[in-house]
Structure 1
Amino acid sequence: MSILLSSGTIQLQADVLVIGGGPAGTWAAITAASQGAKVILADKGYCGSSGATAPSGTGVWYVKPDQQLREEAKASRYEMGGRLAEHRWMDRVLDRTYENMNRLGHAGYPFPMDDDGNLHKRGLQGPEYMRLMRKLVKKAGVKILDHSPALELLVDEHGVGGASGVQTQTGDAWTVHAGAVVIATGGCAFLSKALGCNVLTGDGYLLAAETGAQLSGMEFSNAYAICPTFSSVTKTAYYSYASFYYEDGTPVEGAGSKRGRSVIARKLLEGRQVYAKLDLAPEEIKPLLRVNQTNFFLPFDRRGIDPFTDLFPVTLRLEGTVRGTGGIRITDESCATSVPGLYAAGDAATRELICGGFTGGGSHNAAWAMSSGSFAGEGAAAYVKKLGGHAADRQLQSVSTSVISSTASASPSRTEEIVQAVQEEVAPYDRNLFRTEQGLKNSLQRLDGLWKDQRNQVVERSANGVKAREAAAMTATARWMYNSALARTETRGMHKREDFPTLDAGQHYRLISGGLDQVWVKPEAVQEAPEKKEVILP
């Protein structure tokens, strides 16, 4: 791994480059390194403290290898996800998650004891989890580039061979040539101010698509989380203990049901403020709730509000594909994309394989991050071994739709205007949560115009340039989302069409999307679960 410093430029060589330093990225880096690969991890923020997991507690889809328990776990969201998940992938993820959670225990993660004296491994506290993961990454010999967002991928006729970006704290440009690249940049929450999502702007989707990779399930991208109006903490599970009211104390009928978010959204669209109170929480678990999610209660404590007894105003905050299931399409069990040398993991990759068209916070998401990260790390390391010694001799070039330059780029004010314009298309409930053909077409017309305005723009290799690329990534993400939503003329999973309110058995397929200037969408068959054969004992 060589480092050449000249004129504010850092040049590095590695076997595997991992872009993103959350759970998926760190697991990918550790696993690739364990296979003998020289690994560099470039994080947009500070590896270990940035991203959606780091500031929060999360449940984990951790199930003991008991056949009945596993079958129940797989069935738990299969129907809710529109029957788009695949049993072989669920089995693989359950196996790897079980293995990785046990590895965390051996590495020193402080799992609590349950009432029977056994370690409770169905949840992780983000700060402790990611602090440990950074430690394990460094112990594995991985070089970490903090505050180093990638601006472009580098390719040749053989596929992806590296990336370049900028270190935002120093202004130094960086370039890494690598035999394989793992995209683990998370999903896209469109800068909605959801906790930990300030770095999750769809960057990896755009980077991958610029190389020719496809996406899958981008219609499953309209996740909204219940949140106090004065807070960024989106811990929806706690609202299972909530009742919902108007300001005068009258209950909001239906707001506490499985369709509660839709009910709340419609009331907010009518201009009626909805309030919540965690008045269904049993007394004995209230202290446990505080311990499990300390940051959930901080905004209340600062305002002198007791959420168990006092009404507080709520809203729905967009989490897009962070809590949706769409992302980069992977083509095999190594989490490879359709582009040689490019792999995807975590929220950056589609989670349809284990969730179909619906997921919530934590649980499946956390399991997918650590499992797909491991699969991608193994796959990338194996790919590099096949390349042999030729990786260092490749003549690479950028495929960015922006012109990455050392000169000044679009003004920050113009970038802010673009971001706001994209948010105006994806944040409103009547455009994204409750979708219609005409609404989607109207939004796409405006989004296509925004994309054309940004195409081939000069982007400075600087913090301002990073923001410009974020704006382009959010624009592109919204276009893949809405073109896919337009093509799925039914309601399935979290995707809701007001003009097609029921599930259509004839549309039991995934939607693959791609393209930059001209977005395309096409169906892809779901691999059916193998038919269970009756075993007749002698």
Structure 2
Amino acid sequence: MVLADKGYCGTSGATAAGGTGVWYVPPEPAAREAAMASREGLGGYLADRRWMSRVLDETYHRMNELADEGRYPFPTGPDGRPLRNGLQGPEYMRRMRIRIRRAGVRILDHSPVTELLTDADGAAAGAAGYRRQAGEPYRVRAGAVVLATGGCAFLSGALGTNTNTGDGALFAAEAGAELSGMEFSNAYGIAPEGTSVTKTAFYSFATFYREDGEVLEGAASQGGRSAIARELLTGARVHARLDRADATAQAAMRLAQPNFFLTFDRLGIDPFTERFSVTLLAEGTVRGTGGIRITGADCATSVPGLYAAGDAATREEICGGFTGGGSHNAAWAMSSGSWAGSGAARYARSLGSGRAAFRPVTGAGGAGLRPAGDAGSAAGPGEARELVRLVQEEVLPYDKNYLRRGSVLTGALGALDDLWAQLRSLRGEGAGLVKVRQAAAMTAHARWMYASALARTESRGMARRLDHPEQDPAQHHRIVTGGLDRVWTRPAELVA
């Protein structure tokens, strides 16, 4: 077994950069019922309780396994009982790296994948990529592939998301897989201005202020980030102070998320008594919901031999149209990773060692790798960086992606379509290939997002449309999307 990581396995990704809550609920009927009901309305009633129950069971088992085998040092509460509803990311990921190495997994660090390999029948048969430190390409033949590449935050600067550029979704689509829930991608996290830490939950204790010291009305309410976004769009600053946290809450917050306070400590700011300016950072499908559509209980995709896990996969099954940082996402990552790994192993064994190792394979990659039409042109040194900037111009501004209107989405999608056409004529080489493919992944991700957002002419979950502010009962369905040169969408009715 081979694990290829875009960064250093154990330190790359959103979880490794900080702590995370986990949707860990004891198997008590009342507690489970409350846990499932808590997000159904927020998610627009698009979740599936069968999947919720499965994830709750699997997460409970996996978290207990971590504790019982001594793999993670859970703290204890005042009553002496272990607290298993959260994990400190750096320690958790460090221990997971040790665990997989002991299991015999070969880790390829700093080895971003650039495309999937498929066999003559279109089944996933491995991956190709580039080893940054060795300065050479590589290929891995495999009986099956699990994509656990995370979501896409468009290099917004949010903590831990610099490797989350939607690569897995592009690879899956190139192999023929579909995506779902991509309209639920307009997540923005609150962060102190000029920093990267988006631990938004703690801002429930905040009061927000305009530059003149006046309270910014509505900013502290459910959906208050809209008020913050509108104020920031005027060019004015927004300030916050965590002045609604009492001494007990303050101590608990510092214990739960120490990295949240590092910035303040370094700047000499007491966030509980002093005001500080804040901004909103795009987190896309990292804190959003959409991703690769799964078609089976083992997290298989519509492509034989291809599986998806964590933020790379849609989380609609347990969250519908609304999720957030940690909690459900962390439980989904833990559960889907277990199921996808088992499913991939079963599929690989079904092929037999001879077929898996020696079947002819071809690369499935397109934009930035194999230009359409003629020979294409080699991407220049700064071209990938410029392409990323152009994508960001369409997805980072609050008045395009967060405060959505149909006419604005249509214009942005048109610009992204033009950008995609440009990418289809480019060819990256060496280390430059990684950057061009990353730009292609971000562009594809944005096009699926906006096409799906245009298809949902209502406001449901986190997919809010200012021109369609109400929820439409006739649109109680999921939206599936896909396509590369031509993006498409279609409704998918919920299975009772």
| Residue in structure 1 matching 2:79, options 94, 98, 116 | 116
1:232 aligns with 2:196: yes
3-state SS, counterpart of residue 295 of structure 1:
helix
Measure, in 2, the Cα distance between the counterparts of 1:412 and 1:471: 13
After superposition, the C-alpha distances for 1:26-59 in whole angstroms (9 at most, x for unaligned) are xxxxxxxxxxxxx110000000011100010100
Contact 2:19–2:88 (CA under 8 A) maintained in structure 1: yes
Post-superposition offset of 1:62: 0.2
Stretch deviating more after TM superposition (501-510 or 390-399): 390-399
Measure, in 2, the Cα distance between the counterparts of 1:499 and 1:194: 29
Contact 1:402–1:459 (CA under 8 A) maintained in structure 2: no
Partner of 1:424: 393
Partner of 1:171: 135
* Mapping for residues 9-158 of structure 1, pairs under 5 Å: 39-105=1-67, 106-158=69-121
Post-superposition offset of 1:272: 2.4
Measure, in 1, the Cα distance between the counterparts of 2:229 and 2:323: 19
| Residue in structure 2 matching 1:353, options 314, 317, 320 | 317
Partner of 1:519: 487
Post-superposition offset of 1:155: 0.6
Partner of 2:470: 502
Measure, in 2, the Cα distance between the counterparts of 1:521 and 1:438: 18
Contact 1:274–1:315 (CA under 8 A) maintained in structure 2: yes
| Residue in structure 1 matching 2:346, options 366, 378, 382 | 382
What letter is aligned with 1:391? Answer: A
1:446 aligns with 2:415: yes
Stretch deviating more after TM superposition (282-291 or 351-360): 282-291
Measure, in 1, the Cα distance between the counterparts of 2:385 and 2:336: 34
After superposition, the C-alpha distances for 1:291-327 in whole angstroms (9 at most, x for unaligned) are 2222211111222111111100011110000000000
Partner of 1:460: 429
What letter is aligned with 1:457? Answer: L
| Residue in structure 2 matching 1:319, options 280, 283, 297 | 283
3-state SS, counterpart of residue 287 of structure 2:
coil
Measure, in 1, the Cα distance between the counterparts of 2:341 and 2:394: 36
Structure 1: give runs of 5+ residues left out of the alignment.
Answer: 1-38, 529-538
Post-superposition offset of 1:417: 1.1
Post-superposition offset of 1:404: 4.0
3-state SS, counterpart of residue 230 of structure 2:
helix
Contact 2:120–2:360 (CA under 8 A) maintained in structure 1: no
Stretch deviating more after TM superposition (382-391 or 236-245): 382-391
After superposition, the C-alpha distances for 1:453-484 in whole angstroms (9 at most, x for unaligned) are 0014212132x221111100000000000000
What letter is aligned with 1:423? Answer: Q
3-state SS, counterpart of residue 179 of structure 1:
coil
What letter is aligned with 1:186? Answer: G
Measure, in 2, the Cα distance between the counterparts of 1:208 and 1:461: 22
Post-superposition offset of 1:268: 1.1
Contact 1:401–1:456 (CA under 8 A) maintained in structure 2: no
CA RMSD between the two structures? 1.3
Stretch deviating more after TM superposition (349-358 or 260-269): 260-269
3-state SS, counterpart of residue 76 of structure 1:
helix
3-state SS, counterpart of residue 352 of structure 2:
helix
Contact 2:211–2:236 (CA under 8 A) maintained in structure 1: no
Identity of aligned residues (%): 60
Partner of 1:268: 232
What letter is aligned with 1:51? Answer: G
Contact 2:167–2:438 (CA under 8 A) maintained in structure 1: yes
Partner of 1:470: 438
Measure, in 2, the Cα distance between the counterparts of 1:348 and 1:300: 32
After superposition, the C-alpha distances for 1:82-134 in whole angstroms (9 at most, x for unaligned) are 00000000000000000110111123301000122111000000011001100
* Mapping for residues 286-325 of structure 1, pairs under 5 Å: 286-325=250-289
What letter is aligned with 1:280? Answer: R
What letter is aligned with 1:269? Answer: L
Measure, in 1, the Cα distance between the counterparts of 2:256 and 2:436: 37
Structure 2: give runs of 5+ residues left out of the alignment.
Answer: 371-375
What letter is aligned with 1:322? Answer: V
1:396 aligns with 2:361: yes
3-state SS, counterpart of residue 76 of structure 2:
coil
Partner of 1:209: 173
Post-superposition offset of 1:408: 9.6
3-state SS, counterpart of residue 228 of structure 2:
helix
After superposition, the C-alpha distances for 1:162-219 in whole angstroms (9 at most, x for unaligned) are 0110111111211100000000000000000000000000000100000010000000
* TM value normalised by structure 2: 0.97
Count of aligned residue pairs for this structure pair? 488
Measure, in 2, the Cα distance between the counterparts of 1:373 and 1:442: 37
1:241 aligns with 2:194: no
Measure, in 1, the Cα distance between the counterparts of 2:172 and 2:430: 19
What letter is aligned with 1:140? Answer: A
Measure, in 1, the Cα distance between the counterparts of 2:62 and 2:446: 34
Partner of 1:535: none
Measure, in 2, the Cα distance between the counterparts of 1:309 and 1:174: 53
CA 1:171–1:234 in structure 2 vs 1: closer, same or farther (change >3 Å)? same
3-state SS, counterpart of residue 94 of structure 2:
helix
Measure, in 2, the Cα distance between the counterparts of 1:307 and 1:230: 15
Measure, in 2, the Cα distance between the counterparts of 1:402 and 1:445: 18
Post-superposition offset of 1:287: 2.5
3-state SS, counterpart of residue 144 of structure 2:
strand
Measure, in 2, the Cα distance between the counterparts of 1:456 and 1:374: 39
